[in-house]
Amino acid sequence: MSMDLSEFLDVFLEECFEGLEVMESGLLHLDEGTDLEEINTIFRAAHSIKGGSAAFGFNHISEFTHVMETLLDQLRSGKRQVDQATVDLLLASVDVLREMVEGLKTDEAPDESRVAELKQQLEAAVNGDGGKSDQGLEEHAPDEKPEAAGEPRSLRIEIRPGQAMFQQGNDPLRIFAELAKLGELEVETRASNLPVLDDLDPTRCYLEWSARLTTSATDDELNEIFSWLGDECRVEIAPAEKSEPTGSKEADRKPEAAHAGEEKAASGKSAPKAEEKKSPSKGPTLVKSSAGRESSSIRVSIEKVDLLINLVGELVITQSMLNQVGTALMHQGGPEAEALLNGLAQLERNTRELQENVLQIRMLPISFAFNRFPRLVRDLSHKMGKQVELVLTGEQTEVDKTVLEKIGDPLVHLVRNSLDHGLEMPEVRKAAGKPEQGRLELSAQHESGNIVIRISDDGAGLNREKILRKAIEKGLVDEKEELSDERIDNLIFQPGFSTADKVSDLSGRGVGMDVVKRNINDLGGTVSIHSEPGKGSTVVIRLPLTLAILDGQLASVGQETYILPLISIVESLQVQAEHLKSVAGSTELYRFRDEYIPIVRLNRLFGVADGTDDLLQGLLVVVEAEGRHVGLFVDRLLGQQQVVIKSLETNFHQLDGISGATILGDGQVALILDIPGLVDLYYRTLNSPAALAANS
């Protein structure tokens, strides 16, 4: 049979990235007096990456990780104290290691000079003050008496792996190579479980091993060699008799004789009891004993999940069509019609439950996006000389995987902007009566079927006078135009807008905030900023929970049906004549609360000939786009429902003002409106040469 190694490689890469996240998170929490378990966690992650990369033959990764592992071992043994320089070096090494792993995925070679430089720095640290004496170990654990060096002992090691050992990327030869480094090793292979050739599966392990090791290594050093084996692998370490051979036929027939610390010689006589034999060992040690434990999760490719979601979407559409038929048959009456309606009601409940559960498969906690910021804030705050406290809340709030992947870059822009522009230098904060340490908070929560992310800081806030002056210089607003504070604040999302006095590698190049808005709009969301001078700013991002299903408001324009995303709707109202106002002959405005908003006639914008022209006979749907309100004029509203989004680009091409399409219960195709794109289309049409000529 053939093996698809690419599948195993994909699993290995995913586990590497997970291990790197664990290492980075743990290193960010390291400081003086850190719990030893934190360092052990980092060490185990590095050890797993080293073992897996060696099993796949990625020696450049395993060798680099080995040096990191050695330095971490000095930290956990107490030979080296945790300090800022060591943490910085290990964090930089994690970055290099991540580049090396990503290179395996993208077939791009990492920066060899940087890899060599970091490896040299790690080796220098390992061979420096961290390995010159054991004084740190004695101070770290005065009550523990370490194993005395130069007192070799003889150990018997029984290795009984699970059959999935090879599939998990483990190589027994590497185990024995590591054991051989600790002392004199003899190994015997037992093949009593080997099946006949016809039943042999080359991806499974049928062998067991019995080894005799003479070493002065500690139990911890021995256990660490086996710590990255699979959950089903069972390893026993016990003192060995001086006259005991490495393996025997009796041991081959009855490997369980070593269970619970009891040993039997080939003659059948009992071995001396543990208390009668003096040995530095603490007795039999079970390193792994997880046989029979089943995994609580499986890895499934995202393509399979997407296919399943698409099929459920088709099922939702079919069920909606059947409801239309059922409604028509209801008027005929009779037991058959009643039974059909009951069945359709049950189908609707089951379909809704199936749809919700399938969508949950793609949902991931937003912590996957938040986890990068402790490192980012730490590095940038040190670089800028600022003191910053980062607070993360709502990290377990779940969001669609696609949304999660695309929200990362906008969040990075916003966090960097808060660090650079928002939070002041310590001396400035102190002079203003604030704590020298600034506060930056990222929060996420569900609100009304959407996910709301807030990035808040207690910095200086936005300088509205400076923003307005820049906006007038760039021609974004008229000098005589009166703008609300909220409108002024949101001018920073305009393309090329920047108030930075000097260009830096963090900001001031006129890019960033407009990219944030565009990326969030592409996800069907909105972004706005609220600021209070001297007290700080808060950026609010609203996003749909998933990109596969949309909560929409159905509206008719003539014979056409359009779907407006509920996330963008502010209010629906009947047009009142006294609130209407006309500008330049054709631009229509409507007084909505304390502002005049433009009226967008969808029938004219989309060329629907039979749409209502009388504003008093239709409805105005007030939507929010780009920090301002716009009124969409429609004939009537038809109700709200969840719709399955179908991409137009797949089978047609992208249309301005349209984000996608869906199929309604009656089989009719309805277009889903892209509110920000629709507003842009309206203003482009309004300022077109034809429109300007008509208004002149």
Residues recognised as catalytic: 47, 69, 417
**Do the bridges between strand 153-160 and strand 208-215 make them parallel or antiparallel, or are there none, so unpaired?**
antiparallel
Q: Nearest 5 degrees, angle CA 217-CA 221-CA 225?
A: 125
Q: What are phi and psi of 531, to 5 degrees?
A: -135, 150
Contact call for residues 420 and 370 (beta carbons, < 8 A): no
Position of tokens 């159905």? 554
**Do the bridges between strand 234-239 and strand 285-288 make them parallel or antiparallel, or are there none, so unpaired?**
antiparallel
CA nearest neighbour of 598 among 584, 611, 581, 613? 581
CA dist 679 to 113, 561, 685, Å? 50, 19, 10
Rounded to whole angstroms, how far apart are CA atoms 646 and 336?
35
SS3 of 49, please?
helix
Neighbour tally for 83: CB within 10 Å:
13
Rounded to whole angstroms, how far apart are CA atoms 102 and 401?
20
Contact call for residues 553 and 569 (beta carbons, < 8 A): yes
Rounded to whole angstroms, how far apart are CA atoms 212 and 186?
5
What CA dihedral angle connects 650, 656, 660 and 664, to 10 degrees?
-120
- List strands edge to edge, sheet with 234-239: 183-190, 208-215, 153-160, 234-239, 285-288
Neighbour tally for 509: CB within 10 Å:
12
Tokens matching residue 338? 């009643």
SS3 of 58, please?
coil
Rounded to whole angstroms, how far apart are CA atoms 643 and 628?
26
Tokens matching residue 589? 């405005």
Rounded to whole angstroms, how far apart are CA atoms 268 and 270?
6
CA dist 410 to 128, 175, 457, Å? 42, 45, 16
Separation of first and last alpha carbons in the chain = 79
What letter represents residue 390's amino acid? L
Q: Classify residue 81 by burial, with Cβ atoms within 10 Å: 0-12, 13-18, 19+.
A: middle
Tokens matching residue 231? 């959950």
Which helix H or strand E contains 536, and what residues bound it? strand 536-544
CA dist 137 to 133, 144, 222, 271, 649, Å? 9, 9, 18, 37, 64
Residue 559 is given by DSSP the state T
Q: DSSP per residue over 186-224, as a string?
A: EEEEE-TT---GGG--TTS---EEEEEEEE---HHHHHH
